Amino acid sequence: MALPRAALALAMLAPLLAGCFGGLFGEARTEWAFEATQLDLMPGLGHTGKGVTIAVLDTGANRGHPALAHLFDGDRANGEVIGFQDFVNGRNGFANAYDDVGHGSHVLGILGASGSSLGDKLVYAGVDLQGGAPEALYLVAKVCPAPTEQNPKGSCDTSAVTEAVKWAASQKAQVISLSLGSDAAPFPNSLLDDQGNALQDAINAAIDAGIVVVASAGNAGPDNTDVLVPSSIPGVLSVGAINKDLQVWDGSSRGDDAGNACQTIPILGTRGRCDPDKKPELVAPGVEILSSWTGETYAKATGTSQACPFVASTVALLLEGRPVLKDRAGVERVKEVLVQTAKHVAGQATPHDRAAGYGIVQAAAALEAYRPA
């Protein structure tokens, strides 16, 4: 069965000029989201992502946005985009970084934004974005094009995502953030075409090398059959979305626990999804999240695309100041800690819920519990 071209995990995207948000002391960032994940506590604990390399494979990066300016100032000490590769139009290189869609810049803002200019705060109602890992190093790959008449959803080509994963691994990424997905039948139970197998192989090779891969669960809930590819790959951290009430967003894709039941078969070994790899593993804020957009504007967006960078930020903060992970066992240790310290969503099934996963990611609790293998 052919793997459909991957589509951005977007839903209910509602760009708004930040100037429409209210008075001078308007919303600085989506504060409840950082409180719910404990990311608001991490700077006080001395963790800002410094020195950790995160790859963001998306629609690119808006180097002209004031909330992202520090990532393009040539100073690695305060966070920096250290590589830009364009797998769509071939406009490679740091100086050519761009985003003709806005989605990638929105994700990057949740991860790495660090304030805005005084003039921007005045014009945009006091917006002052602060991302989860503002001092991390970023590799940005453009893998998804702008929508066209022939491709109205701006769907990403699977081969571009595959090559970007390989590129990120070659550039020593420690975390790969994938706010995209395909509704193909989940790995590893489907017969995939060569592109699908190549993507799976590239991601598994990255995990084997000690890279933590985080991906959106998808926006097909609540009646979907499973999370999207590539978040369905066992070693990947699949992330669903919650709202301000800390309940699973209705559109967040559900996992298929029943169809992928963990079982041990003589000689063949373990099959299906076993802890901590049941899908999704975690949920994070993904409803009306404020972040950077095209030009110098801001937008609120909803979807598991927005939830993914909250978890990617948390992983980067765990790895900060630690030895670089060397293999899949190290990645699994990170997953185990995130799962064990997650906060249960009210009413969720335990230990795993097909909507809420193991719970809401908790950055400070995970930091306290994490001991590298």
Q: Catalytic site residues?
A: 58, 103, 305
Alpha carbon distances (Å) from 73 to 77, 141, 313, 346? 10, 19, 21, 43
Cis, peptide link before residue 145, omega less than 30° from 0: no
Q: Could you tell me the two tokens for 62?
A: 């808006």
Three-state SS for the chain is CCCCCEEECCEEEECCCHHHHCCCCCCCCCHHHHHHCCHHHCHHHCCCCCCCEEEEEECECCCCCHHHHHHHCCCHHHCEEEEEEECCCCCCCHHHCCECCCHHHHHHHHHHCECCCHHHHHHCCCCCCECCCCCCEEEEEECCCCCCCCCCCCCECHHHHHHHHHHHHHCCCCEEEECEEECCCCCCCCCCCHHHHHHHHHHHHHHHCCCEEEEECCCCCCCCCCCCECCCCCCCEEEEEECCCCCECCCCCCCCCCCCCCEEECCCEEECCCCCCCCCCEEEECCCEEEECCCCCEEEEECHHHHHHHHHHHHHHHHCCCCCCCCHHHHHHHHHHHHHHCECCCCCCCCCECCCECCECCHHHHHHHCCCC
Structural contact between residues 249 and 243, judged by C-beta atoms closer than 8 angstroms? yes
What's the rounded Cα separation, in Å, for the pair 158 and 144? 10
Q: Which residue has the tokens 């139009």?
A: 89
Of 333, 364, 343, which is closest to residue 132 (Cα–Cα)? 364
